[in-house]
Structure 1
Amino acid sequence: MTTEGVAAKPSWQTRAITALLASRGQKQMLGSAEGVHAALEKRDRRVKEVRPPAFLRKAATVTRDDLDGWPVFRVTPTAGPTDVTVVFLHGGGFFAEIVRPHWSFVRELGAAIPAEVVVPIYPLIPRGSAADMVATTAAIITRTIEQRGSGKTVVMGNSAGGLLTLAAAHAVRDQGGPQPSRLVLISAWLDATLSDPALPALEQIDPLHQRPGMAEIARIYADGLDLRDPRVSPLFGPLEGLPPLSIFCGTHEMVLSDARALTGRAEAAGIPVDYHEGPGLPHNYALMPSPEGRVARKIIIEACRTPRHDLYTVRGDRDGASR
């Protein structure tokens, strides 16, 4: 679909950012299991302690409150009170650490909603795996809801962080705990089986991803769990009892089939869903400093400001025509 206010053809900013990201060789790295392991070895030679960037502290107070050995940063705007807490789970395919654009998104959420933003720094594969990561994420969500209340807590994640968002919501529900007011899924990877028949065609137009490397990441992350286990592939978990969903995905990314499948299942289950599909747009377009990204973030911010607001009409069909 066309996200509100943006032309169907990607802007030059989106095209330039996509070309820059593609030039870094991620798609080539994901072309094989060997490429993934080489990238992990290179990453581990450069491990540094995660510290929020200095620019974040110019307009917010940043504190740290660890849980189960995870650093959990709490970013609170200094400008005034906040009505909402957002738990944000960063992307990176479970093999890459939080990066500056994620922190910029955190700053924008905090200032614009305004919101306190909780940022867990989860362990990366192979040190982190599905069972423990979902359990600790669920504990962080539960702790946040206890402190702020269900109606004032939003949980969101991009890419692999979107997988953790939905999987942890399943876990919180199964434990009998209250749900957050909304889940926001941005280019979320939800099906680690990579079995959707649409994937071969999507792989050809996705500038950043390939199945062989993603399959190896999924295998490591699962750590012996069945790939259809909802902690690994939350697309297959039951949706009953979950809160409203806001879903963002471009048509030029492999997780498009996940976004469409989840939207259809949510509608069938009676879960309010607000689906935004960007024609020609790449992975994580909603976080990009582009016209399409700015429009998407305005929608996200409004959804967080009024978590129970009726934003749930699906905005567009799967072919790109508005309805």
Structure 2
Amino acid sequence: MPSIVSRIVPVYLRVIGANRTFVSAEGARRHIRERSLRPRPYGPPRLLRSDVSVSVDHSSGWPIYTLTPRGTARGNVVYAHGGGWVNEIAPQHWTLAANIAALSGTTVTVPIYPLIPFGTAGEVVPAFAKLVLDNKSRYGEVCLAGDSAGGQIALSTAILLRDEHQVKLPRTVLISPALDLSLSNPEIERVQPTDPWLGQEGSHVLTAHWRGELPLSDPIVSPLFADMAGLGPLSIFCGTRDILNPDVRLLVDKARAAGVSIDYHEGSDLVHVYPLTPTPEGRTARAAIIDRLRVALSPTRAHLPRP
């Protein structure tokens, strides 16, 4: 049974109307218009961790932030933030990225990618792949991580790297990833009444922008349609009160059948992106994420303190 705090989270999300962008087409269109007119700040909070330094580079056309831990760092994690491809990076993303840097002893790269209606999967995913390749030259081993919409970007990037560059990543971490942007899995209807956050009708509006000229079945848009054979290890976290959960289960089965190493954490009765929530289950998931990335990038290192 979920903790008391986790049982409060769905109530809180419904009270604040967290799903208003996703449950209706008009709500999604209104949100896109608002974010186009009044973009939200994306910079990191002033107080992250004292043992992590932050720098930013604009030479590629996007702001690319780098979080560097104190002391010797090994490898790199490229983190793709979530937000329905329409919302900017949130403080919870920055906190997780900083903890990964400090507690995994690695640099973390956080791209501030263009959002809809301006950005598309066809532009963003190849740019993430190029960033990973550049970072491999600079840091050595590189892992990918992402949540929700960022989970789609991360897995699509891993697939593109395998297919076009013959690169197999040491680990990709997916937190409640969007996998099939058609949202046509019939099991979604069963989960929808329990999900206080996401909805199909508004999501269809968002994904119509994000896919651009590509079909929904293109793995750059919907990574669930890709062949999984030859991918590096995957760590996946998803709650059962999340309409993305049915597709996550399909991914787990498909990847295992293809011989991919899968580390799957399903949160019973937990909400979308539960590892980012201020709950006991969230803390446990964050510790697992940090541990998996630490081992992938520094397999012989002694264990570092947990967050």
Provide TM-score, normalisation by structure 2: 0.93
- Map of 1:265-276 to 2, 5 A cutoff? 265-276=254-265
From 93, 107, 119, the counterpart of 1:116: 107
Question: Secondary structure at the residue paired with 1:58?
Answer: coil
Task: Report Cα offsets for 1:118-161 as digits up to 9, x if no partner.
Answer: 101111101000100111111111111221223xx211000000
Task: Report Cα offsets for 1:68-109 as digits up to 9, x if no partner.
Answer: 41111000022x112231111111010100011111111211
**Aligned residue type for 2:250:** A
The answer on whether the counterparts of 1:68 and 1:136 sit within 8 Å (CA) in structure 2 is: no
- Map of 1:183-262 to 2, 5 A cutoff? 183-262=172-251
| Match status 1:55 vs 2:44 | no
| Match status 1:94 vs 2:85 | yes
**2:196, 2:171 → 1: CA distance?**
30
**2:196, 2:6 → 1: CA distance?**
12
Q: What do you get for the CA RMSD once the two structures are aligned?
A: 1.7
Q: Percent identity between the aligned chains?
A: 38
**1:223, 1:43 → 2: CA distance?**
18
Q: Where do 5+ consecutive residues of structure 1 fail to align?
A: 1-8, 311-323
The answer on whether the counterparts of 1:169 and 1:179 sit within 8 Å (CA) in structure 2 is: yes
The answer on whether the counterparts of 1:101 and 1:287 sit within 8 Å (CA) in structure 2 is: yes
301 and 209 in structure 1: CA distance in 2 versus 1, 3 angstrom threshold: same
**Aligned residue type for 2:115:** L
Could you tell me how far 1:57 is from its partner in structure 2? 6.2
| Match status 1:286 vs 2:278 | no
- Residue 85 (structure 1) aligns with: 76
Moved more, 88-97 or 107-116: 107-116
| Match status 1:31 vs 2:23 | yes
- Residue 94 (structure 2) aligns with: 103
Aligned length: 299
**1:120, 1:113 → 2: CA distance?**
19
Could you tell me how far 1:287 is from its partner in structure 2? 1.5
- Map of 1:289-308 to 2, 5 A cutoff? 289-307=278-296
- Residue 40 (structure 1) aligns with: 32
**1:309, 1:103 → 2: CA distance?**
22
**2:11, 2:58 → 1: CA distance?**
37
Question: Secondary structure at the residue paired with 1:26?
Answer: coil
- Residue 182 (structure 1) aligns with: 171
The answer on whether the counterparts of 1:91 and 1:160 sit within 8 Å (CA) in structure 2 is: yes
The answer on whether the counterparts of 1:67 and 1:140 sit within 8 Å (CA) in structure 2 is: no
**2:169, 2:15 → 1: CA distance?**
38
Q: Where do 5+ consecutive residues of structure 2 fail to align?
A: 300-307
The answer on whether the counterparts of 2:170 and 2:297 sit within 8 Å (CA) in structure 1 is: yes
**1:48, 1:198 → 2: CA distance?**
34
**2:229, 2:60 → 1: CA distance?**
29
Could you list the runs of 4 or more consecutive aligned residues of structure 1 that deviate by over 4 angstroms after TM superposition? none
Question: Secondary structure at the residue paired with 2:179?
Answer: coil
Could you tell me how far 1:23 is from its partner in structure 2? 2.4
Provide TM-score, normalisation by structure 1: 0.88
Question: Secondary structure at the residue paired with 2:281?
Answer: helix
The answer on whether the counterparts of 1:87 and 1:119 sit within 8 Å (CA) in structure 2 is: yes
Could you tell me how far 1:304 is from its partner in structure 2? 1.0
Moved more, 65-74 or 161-170: 65-74
**Aligned residue type for 1:300:** I
- Residue 125 (structure 1) aligns with: 116
The answer on whether the counterparts of 1:243 and 1:271 sit within 8 Å (CA) in structure 2 is: yes
**1:238, 1:197 → 2: CA distance?**
22
**Aligned residue type for 1:59:** D
Task: Report Cα offsets for 1:171-221 as digits up to 9, x if no partner.
Answer: 111222423210000000111011111011111111111111111111111
